[in-house]
Amino acid sequence: MVYRSGSREGRDGRDGRSVGAGVTPGGDPVLAARLTVPSVPGTFVRRERLVEQLDEGAGRPLTLVDGPAGAGKTLLVADWVTARAPGAVAWLTVEPQDSAPGVFWSYVLHALRHHGIALPEHIRGPARPGEVDHSLLARLAAWLNERDSRVILVLDEFDRVAESAAVADELQFVLRHAGDGLRLVVISRTEPLLPLYRYRAAGELVDIRADDLAFRAEETAALVDRHGLPLSAEAARALTERTEGWAAGLRLCALAAQRADDPESFLDDFEAGHSTVADFLLGEVLRAQPAETQDLLLRTSILERTHPDLTNALTGRDDAEPVLETLQRANAFVEPLGHSWYRLHSLFAEILRVRLRVRHPGLEPELHRRAAEWLSRAGLLDEALRHAADAGDWELAATELVGQLAIGRLLTGLAAERLDALFAGMAPEASGPAPDLVRAARELAHHDVDRGVTYLRRAEENLPDLGADSTDDAAATRLSCAVLRVLAARVVGSADLAETAARDAAEAEQALPADRLERSPELTALMLTDLGSAQLWAGRFDAARGTLSAAVDAAAEGLSTAFPRHEAPGRVAKVPPAGRRLARTLAAPDESPRTSSTRASARHAESTLPHARTTSRGGTPMTPPGPPSGRTTGLSQHALGRLALIDFLHGRPGQAEAHARGAVAEAERSGLPVAYRTGMPQLVLAAVAVDRDDLTAAQDHLDEAAATSAASRDPLMAVELAILRSRMLVARGDPRAALSALDDMTRQPLGSAEPSPWVSDRIAMATAAAHLADGDPKAAVKVFEEQPLHSPESRAAEARARVAAGDGERALRILDALPESRDQGPAVDVWLLLTRAQVLEARGDSPAAEGLVLRALAAARPHQLRRPFLEAGPWLGRLLRRPALAREHTWLTGTLAPHRAQPPPPEPLSAREQDVLERLAQLMSTEEIAADLHLSVNTVKTHLKSIYRKLAATRRGEAVRHARDLGLL
């Protein structure tokens, strides 16, 4: 039984409207096309038996529609979605580059959003193309599971990512954990790598395969009838047999017969023939078209989607619009996507491409080149680059990438790996500044600074001038070059070089129109982050703070443009591009960080910056490119992490924590795998925890920081990690181990980094602190004699060492010489006050010392800074044990009194006891430990008793916990 499509009128899809779409397509026609439910042509025959299968599938987790090209899979599901409205449907047409999981999931999330399914804030697009943090998928699944209504996710052309086991695994994971909240419909030419047998066995799969999709004789009759060709039952049966019920064959056959002089004899001839179905019929249909139409179809076959203007660029004529419209009305070859865009049927395009190569040998590269130029002008950079590469025109590809200010996308964001792979094919002959900049960016992205700098130098030699008559492209080239120079300067640790390059960048920015800069928020955010990092390394803290805050702002702006809520066209962004602030940042380094971060969060909350719009030649509004997920996603974690470190260094644990937690949240929302996080925020959190004497939390954060790749690549991270480890060891009562950890670190070369003045101060302070804890004040003093000091914090540390070594006068002179009022936080204040108190106490002025200790306590209390008191020495214990003080400061004395005032080092464990302890920590039983160590059970029990005694424990759990606290495990 065949019904006529009930919804033919008014939905021939010319307006490209998508079903259930709460927002208009993202302005990007290519993206919109991937998210739009394809329109169903008037000649479509709805087949109830298949609709019933799909209905049934909506009640189960997985529906699989698989069959060969042209079997009618997409239209079947599109018609079902449109006519039956089975609930909230998100449609995604998969593309080959989506086989990178990060890219795939970012498009899935975008599809959900596009179809009006509002995702919560904690589920944000992945920031890395190659990987998605599993917790993001878990959050997505849990959220889908908890919703009241289900979401039907349709993945069309899934075969394009069929070889990606990771995508299949992740899809399976989300499907499993989303419960009834998610129904998956997979449309594919090949079977997906999902465990289909398991779904089948559990009755959780509806499988619509080639045999089901094949037309039956009566359905063939209905289809041909739609084309105005009544067919006898016998003829329908014969045609079905000849085409094996293949939808594309039937459709072409009807079109060809329509155009034949004698349709009936055409059908008879076709049935009797033996040619391959599609090729033969396509030839017949094509032959019936005017020569111009044939030429147009051959030339546009190199494109997946086309637009009248783009088509004209390929044909060199101006008749594309009427021709495409005629083709669409005839339901031949092209399908409208809305906004004047059309899609060629992929099967037909494939065959047409073969014909193009035969009939116009050598024309293909030229067509790709023209397409690249047009697409780039239209702001569709990703597509443009692919065609430029297909044309083998690498100078064009590199010039477009640089000209569109997109060089940063080789370094950050979802497109990074894909662009890197694309440009890996770049011919060595390609020359000029743009190809060299691309080469430099790729080398820098691969952490090969020397080679990167070599290419950068070569590019610099050929840079275009920024004269009065210079072009935007010249400015873009200079800006890109400057941004890469800032990056290189950061890696070698030179703030001077970074600042010089940043000034060049600012100058180049002045020569560029604002809307062009706005389209590349990641470029500014990247440069500011690198600049701020270089300034931080050089100890230019105020400048670094201003720059890094501006970087956070720039990244936030990038996010807001990445998830645009598209408003009425014509509204123009009023906010100046972040890059414009750069000149100001460089000129006025004292810009209050508070103002700028408040501004960032306010703007972030609004999130309504519309895209800048360009207009194509045909007057079609088009929006510049941008993958669905922010190119700046996850970028601000770097700047926030370094801001947190600056706060910590200036003794402000509260602000340090806030910045660090902001950075962690940003990385989590973006689904960044741990290895790609900066690690800096965790390191700062660990450092603050050490100051509070919360060693368990500190160890957790420290482990997280050490697990990131930055731990080995970033010299600042490497140094701060070593310092933090040494402080932990001192806190656990093992200053010797702390000293050897510091010694190891200073022996390792820090890459090619220029020395950092304050970093060597910090190493000296940590070393001296370990000597003091080891009861060797002379060694501590010696550290400072060998090391010229820079910061007041380290001068205070020297004073501490001097007074401990008995030179109170010298200590006092140092303290008195410190500048009076400084920009310092409570943590520094506490150290200064305690050091001065120690000097006064040593001179016998106890009342004055006590007053200072009280002030130190008041400053430390809001942040629970216990560490300075624990490390101050025995003199402080006498003061703190006084009842009045102890009562008022239980936050400190509670931890201090019982075991901390003079932490007795535990009696060392014997080697055997250590063996037993390690197995205890693995939850092995006494018997298992005995077996494992080839000891008797009684011997193990003896060892256990001894361990309990030495660790002051009464139970296994307690022993293990104490051992961990003491760093024995």
In whole angstroms, what is the distance from residue 452 CA to residue 727 CA? Answer: 37
274 near another protein, rule: CB under 8 A = yes
Residue 70 interacting with another protein (CB under 8 A): yes
Residue 276 vs 748, nearer CB to another protein:
276
Whole-angstrom distance, CA of residue 666 vs CA of residue 671? 9
- Taking the least distance from each CB to another protein, the nearer of 353 and 604 is 353
Residue 317 token pair:
């004529």
Tell me: does residue 641 bind another protein (CB under 8 A).
Answer: no
Q: Which of 31, 62, 144, 351 binds another protein (CB under 8 A)?
A: 351
- What is the spatial order of strands in the sheet that 88-93 belongs to? 88-93, 151-156, 182-188, 62-66, 205-208
> Quick check: 279 binds another protein (CB under 8 A)?
yes
Q: Of 174-182, 244-252, 386-394, 676-684, which segment contacts another protein by CB under 8 A?
A: 244-252
Half-sphere exposure of 961 (CA within 13 A, CB side): 8
Minimum Å gap between C-beta 70 and another protein is 6
User: How near is the Cβ of 286 to another protein at its closest, in Å?
Assistant: 11
Token pair, residue 699, equals: 């160890």
| Smallest separation (angstroms) from another protein to the CB of 348 | 9
Contact between residue 76 and residue 154 where contact means Cβ atoms under 8 Å apart: no
Which residue among 232, 265, 346, 954 contacts another protein (CB under 8 A)? 346
- DSSP letter (8 states) at residue 3: E
Is residue 257 close enough to count as binding another protein by CB under 8 A? no
Is 360 among the residues that bind another protein (CB under 8 A)? Answer: no
Tell me the H-state helices in 415-471: 416-424, 433-445, 449-461
Distance CA 192, CA 140 (A): 21
What string marks each residue from 826 to 855 as x (binds another protein by CB under 8 A) or -?
------------------------------
Decide if 609 contacts 557 (C-beta within 8 A): yes
Judged by CB under 8 A, does residue 358 bind another protein?
A: yes
Taking residue 63's Cβ as centre, other Cβ atoms within 10 Å add up to 26
Nearer to another protein, 281 or 837 (CB): 281
Residue matched to tokens 């970074």 = 498
Which residue lies nearer to another protein by CB, 216 or 357? 357
Burial label for 820, CB within 10 Å (0-12, 13-18, 19+), is exposed
Q: How many residues does the structure list for the chain?
A: 969
Task: By CB under 8 A, name the one of 85, 138, 354, 588 that touches another protein.
Answer: 354
| Cβ-based nearer residue to another protein, 274 or 887 | 274
What's the closest the beta carbon of residue 569 comes to another protein, in angstroms?
A: 38
Q: Which member of 171, 178, 278, 437 binds another protein (CB under 8 A)?
A: 278
Measured from the CB atom, the residue of 68 and 179 that comes closer to another protein is 68
Using CB under 8 A as the binding criterion, the count of chain residues that bind another protein stands at 24
Query: Maximum distance among all alpha carbons in the chain?
Result: 120
In angstroms, the CA 337 to CA 923 distance is: 62
Nearest approach, Cβ of residue 351 and another protein (Å): 6
355 is a contact residue toward another protein (CB under 8 A): yes
> Taking CB under 8 A as the rule, does residue 276 contact another protein?
yes
424 or 568: CB nearest another protein = 424
Residue 360 CB, nearest approach to another protein (Å): 12
CB of 256 to another protein, least distance (A): 15
In contact, 548 and 585? CB cutoff 8 Å: no
What is the rounded CA–CA span in Å between residue 545 and residue 541? 6
From the CB of 347, what's the least distance to another protein, in Å?
5
Site for another protein contains 365 (CB under 8 A): no
| Shortest separation between residue 66's beta carbon and another protein, angstroms | 12
280 sits near another protein (criterion: CB under 8 A): yes
- Residue type for position 281: L
Least distance between another protein and beta carbon 170 (Å): 23
Among 12, 42, 51, 68, binds another protein (CB under 8 A): 68
Q: How near is the Cβ of 250 to another protein at its closest, in Å?
A: 12
Closest separation in Å from C-beta 161 to another protein: 13
Amino acid symbol at 415:
A
**Could you say which residues in the range 305-324 bind another protein, by CB under 8 A?**
none
Q: Which window, 20-28, 64-72, 307-315, 676-684, contacts another protein (CB under 8 A)? A: 64-72
Q: Which is nearer to another protein, 70 or 125 (CB)?
A: 70
Asked if residue 490 lies in contact with residue 535, where contact means CB atoms within 8 angstroms, the answer is: no
* Residue 230 or 273 having the CB closest to another protein: 273
Among 17, 237, 317, 357, indicate the residue that binds another protein (CB under 8 A): 357
Tokens of 100: 């990178």
Residue (146 or 350) nearer to another protein, CB: 350
Q: Does 69 bind another protein (CB under 8 A)?
A: yes
Shorter beta-carbon distance to another protein: residue 244 or 700: 244
d(CA 67, CA 339): 30
Residue 110's identity, in one-letter code, is H
317 CB-near residues (< 8 Å, 6+ apart): 292, 296
Token duo for residue 868: 């300075």
Cβ pair 269, 242 in contact under 8 A: no
Minimum Å gap between C-beta 68 and another protein is 6
Shortest reach from residue 190's CB to another protein, in Å: 8
Distance of alpha carbon 704 from alpha carbon 418, whole angstroms: 29
Instruction: Give least dist CB 163 to another protein, A.
Output: 9
Would you count residue 216 as binding another protein (CB under 8 A)? no
* Beta carbons of 548 and 594 less than 8 angstroms apart: no
Q: Are 901 and 882 in contact (CB under 8 A)?
A: no
Minimum CB distance to another protein, residue 159 (Å): 8
Cα atoms in the Cβ-side hemisphere of radius 13 Å centred on 534: 24
Question: Candidates 73-81, 268-276, 812-820, 905-913 — which segment interacts with another protein by CB under 8 A?
Answer: 268-276
Token pair of 239 as six digits: 């045609």
CB 302 to another protein: min, Å: 14
Q: Does 283 bind another protein (CB under 8 A)?
A: yes
Closest C-alpha to 152, from 119, 185, 121, 124: 185
- Which of 11, 14, 60, 189: binder of another protein (CB under 8 A)? 189
Determine contact, residues 255/78, Cβ cutoff 8 Å.
no
569 binds another protein (CB under 8 A): no
Only one of the segments 121-129, 192-200, 274-282, 478-486 lies at the binding site for another protein (rule: CB under 8 A); that segment is: 274-282
Q: Is 421 in the site for another protein (CB under 8 A)?
A: no
Q: Of 247, 318, 332, which is closest to residue 288 (Cα–Cα)?
A: 332
Name the one range near another protein by CB under 8 A: 116-124, 278-286, 368-376, 907-915.
278-286
Handedness of CA 682, 688, 690, 692 (dihedral sign): negative
The per-residue b/e assignment along 563-580, b for 16 or more CB within 10 angstroms, e otherwise, is bbeeeeeeeebeeebbbb
Question: Cα–Cα distances in Å, from 445 out to 378, 428, 440?
Answer: 28, 19, 8
Q: How many other CB atoms are found less than 10 A from the CB of residue 362?
A: 7
CA dihedral 824, 825, 830, 831 (to 10 degrees): -50
- Residue 522 beta carbon to another protein: minimum distance, rounded to whole angstroms: 35
Angle 449-461/433-445 helices, nearest 10 degrees?
160
Q: Is 277 in the site for another protein (CB under 8 A)?
A: yes
| Of the candidates 70, 65, 7, 11, the residue with the CA atom closest to the CA atom of residue 38 | 11
Q: Which is nearer to another protein, 344 or 702 (CB)?
A: 344
Residues binding another protein (CB under 8 A): 68-70, 189, 244, 246, 248-249, 274-280, 283, 346-347, 350-351, 354-355, 357-358
